[in-house]
A and B are shown apart, each in its own frame.
Chain A
Amino acid sequence: MKLWIVLILIIGGVQCDGFSDQVFKTLNIGEGNACYRTFNKTHEFGCQATKDNENGLIVRIDKHEDFKNLDSCWRSFYPSYSRKFWALVPVDLIRRDSISKLKSSECLAGIVLYNSNQTMHPDEKTTAASHDGDCPNAASDYYFQNNTEAYCERKFNSRGSITPDGLMRIDWRVQMIFINNSTDLDVIKRCHSMFNTPREDGSTGYPYCGMSFRMTNMAAGNSEICYRRGKNDAKLFQMNIDSGDAPQLCGAMHSDNIFAFPTPIPTTPFNDTHHSSKYMMVTSRMDSFGMIPEVSVGEVSVLTSIISVLAAARSMGDNIEKWKKASNVSNRNVFFSFFNGESLDYIGSGTAAYQMGKSMFPQSLREDRAHIHPVLLEELEYVLEVQQVGVAEGRKYYVHIDGDRYDQDRTPTDKIMDKIERGLRSHGFDLEKPSGSQRKVPPSSWHSFAKADSKVQAVLIAPFKEEYDYKRINSILDKNQWTSDEKEKAVQEIEAVATSILAASAEYVGLETDDVVAKVDKKLVSTLFECLITSNFWFDCDFMQKLDGGRYHKLFDSYGFNEKSTYISMETHTAFPTVLHWLTIFALGSDKETLNVKSEKSCSHLGQFQAMYTYTWQPSPYTGNFSCLKSAIVKKVMVSPAVDPSTPEEEMNTRYSTWMESVYIIENVNLYLMEDSSFEYTMLIISVISALLSMYAVSRCSEATFIVDEGEPAAEGGEPL
Chain B
Amino acid sequence: MGIVLTVSCYIASFSPSIALFYSFIAHDPVRIILFFLGSFFWLVSLLISSLAWLGLSTVLPNTFLVSLGVCIVVQELSRVAYFMLLKKAQKGLNKITRHGQISVAPGVSDLHNARHMLALVCGLGMGVISALFYTMNAFATFAGPGTIGLPMALETGHIDSNRAGKYLPLCYVLSAILLTLFHVAWTIMVWDTCHKIGRFPTAFVPGAAAVVSHLFVAFLSSLNSRGFYILVFSVQFLVLLICIAYCNVIMGGTIQSFVTAIGQSFVDAFTLKQIRNFVEERKMRTQQRQAVPDEPMTERGGASDEPGTSNTVDA
Binding site for B on A (CB under 8 A): 7, 10-11, 14, 18-25, 55, 187, 190-191, 194-195, 206-207, 209-210, 212, 670-677, 679-681, 683-684, 686-688, 690-691, 693-710, 712, 715-721
Given A670-B146, A683-B8; 15 other pairs, CB 8 A cutoff: A10-B51, A22-B152, A191-B154, A207-B149, A207-B166, A210-B145, A212-B146, A684-B4, A684-B8, A690-B11, A697-B16, A699-B274, A701-B23, A704-B310, A718-B98
9 A-B pairs with least C-beta separation? A672-B146, A700-B315, A718-B94, A720-B115, A687-B12, A687-B11, A702-B308, A694-B15, A698-B19
A661 to B311, CA, bound (A): 75
Contact A708 B90 (CB under 8 A): no
Given the known interface contacts A684-B4, A693-B15, the answer about A721 and B313 at a Cβ–Cβ threshold of 8 Å is no
A226 to B311, CA, bound (A): 74
**B153 adjacent to chain A (CB < 8 Å):** yes
Shortest CB-to-CB span from A695 to chain B, Å, is 5
B1-50: which have CB < 8 Å to A?
1-2, 4-5, 7-9, 11-13, 15-16, 18-20, 22-24, 47, 50
Contact B118 A10 (CB under 8 A): no
A11 to B19, CA, bound (A): 35
Interfacial chain B residues near A684, Cβ < 8 Å: 4, 8
A701 to B23, CA, bound (A): 9
Question: Of residues A210, A696, A707, which shows the largest number of chain B Cβ atoms within 10 Å of its Cβ?
Answer: A707
A706 to B252, CA, bound (A): 10
**B312 adjacent to chain A (CB < 8 Å):** yes
A7 to B306, CA, bound (A): 54
Of A190, A677, A707, the residue contacting B154 (CB under 8 A) is: A190
Shortest CB-to-CB span from A53 to chain B, Å, is 13
A209 to B19, CA, bound (A): 39
**B111 adjacent to chain A (CB < 8 Å):** yes
Of B83, B165, B170, B265, the residue contacting A207 (CB under 8 A) is: B165
Given the known interface contacts A11-B47, A55-B145, A710-B113, the answer about A206 and B165 at a Cβ–Cβ threshold of 8 Å is yes
Give a binary string over B141-174; 1 marks a CB under 8 Å from any A CB, 0 the rest: 1001111111111100111000001111110010
Contact B314 A701 (CB under 8 A): yes
Given the known interface contacts A680-B4, A680-B5, the answer about A672 and B145 at a Cβ–Cβ threshold of 8 Å is yes
Contact B5 A679 (CB under 8 A): yes
Interfacial chain A residues near B98, Cβ < 8 Å: 718
Question: Can you name 5 A-B pairs with beta carbons within 8 Å?
Answer: A671-B154, A675-B165, A694-B16, A699-B23, A721-B83
Contact A680 B2 (CB under 8 A): yes
Shortest CB-to-CB span from A488 to chain B, Å, is 45
Contact B114 A14 (CB under 8 A): no
Given the known interface contacts A14-B50, A715-B115, the answer about A19 and B148 at a Cβ–Cβ threshold of 8 Å is yes
Interfacial chain A residues near B147, Cβ < 8 Å: 23, 207, 672-675
A11 to B83, CA, bound (A): 27
Contact A690 B146 (CB under 8 A): no
Given the known interface contacts A14-B54, A18-B140, A212-B145, the answer about A705 and B312 at a Cβ–Cβ threshold of 8 Å is yes
Of A674, A686, A693, A717, the residue contacting B145 (CB under 8 A) is: A674
Interfacial chain A residues near B51, Cβ < 8 Å: 7, 10-11
Q: How many cross-chain pairs have Cβ atoms below 8 Å apart between A and B?
A: 235
Contact A683 B5 (CB under 8 A): yes
Given the known interface contacts A679-B166, A680-B1, the answer about A207 and B308 at a Cβ–Cβ threshold of 8 Å is no
Q: Tell me the interface secondary structure of chain B in the complex.
A: helix
CB-CB nearest in chain A for B139: A19
A476 to B46, CA, bound (A): 54
Binding site for A on B (CB under 8 A): 1-2, 4-5, 7-9, 11-13, 15-16, 18-20, 22-24, 47, 50-51, 54, 83, 86-87, 90-91, 94, 97-98, 109-118, 120, 137-138, 140-141, 144-154, 157-159, 165-170, 173, 177, 191, 194-195, 251-252, 261, 265, 269, 274, 306, 308-315
Shortest CB-to-CB span from B9 to chain A, Å, is 6
Contact B274 A705 (CB under 8 A): no
A210 to B265, CA, bound (A): 47
Contact A675 B166 (CB under 8 A): yes
Interfacial chain A residues near B110, Cβ < 8 Å: 718
Contact A690 B112 (CB under 8 A): no
Contact A18 B141 (CB under 8 A): yes
Given the known interface contacts A187-B154, A680-B1, A697-B265, the answer about A23 and B12 at a Cβ–Cβ threshold of 8 Å is no
A679 to B164, CA, bound (A): 13
Contact B154 A706 (CB under 8 A): no
Given the known interface contacts A707-B114, A715-B115, A720-B115, the answer about A673 and B19 at a Cβ–Cβ threshold of 8 Å is no
Contact B166 A718 (CB under 8 A): no
A206 to B50, CA, bound (A): 36
Contact A721 B86 (CB under 8 A): yes
Contact A25 B154 (CB under 8 A): yes
A11 to B46, CA, bound (A): 12
Shortest CB-to-CB span from B152 to chain A, Å, is 7
Shortest CB-to-CB span from A221 to chain B, Å, is 30
Shortest CB-to-CB span from B51 to chain A, Å, is 7
Contact B252 A710 (CB under 8 A): yes
Shortest CB-to-CB span from B67 to chain A, Å, is 14
Interfacial chain B residues near A690, Cβ < 8 Å: 11-13, 15-16, 173, 177
Contact A707 B166 (CB under 8 A): no
Of A7, A14, A22, A710, the residue contacting B149 (CB under 8 A) is: A22
A679 to B18, CA, bound (A): 24
A675 to B149, CA, bound (A): 11
Contact B8 A206 (CB under 8 A): no
Interfacial chain A residues near B24, Cβ < 8 Å: 703, 706
A14 to B47, CA, bound (A): 11
Given the known interface contacts A212-B145, A671-B150, A672-B146, the answer about A207 and B159 at a Cβ–Cβ threshold of 8 Å is yes
Interfacial chain A residues near B274, Cβ < 8 Å: 696, 699
CB-CB nearest in chain A for B150: A673
A719 to B91, CA, bound (A): 6
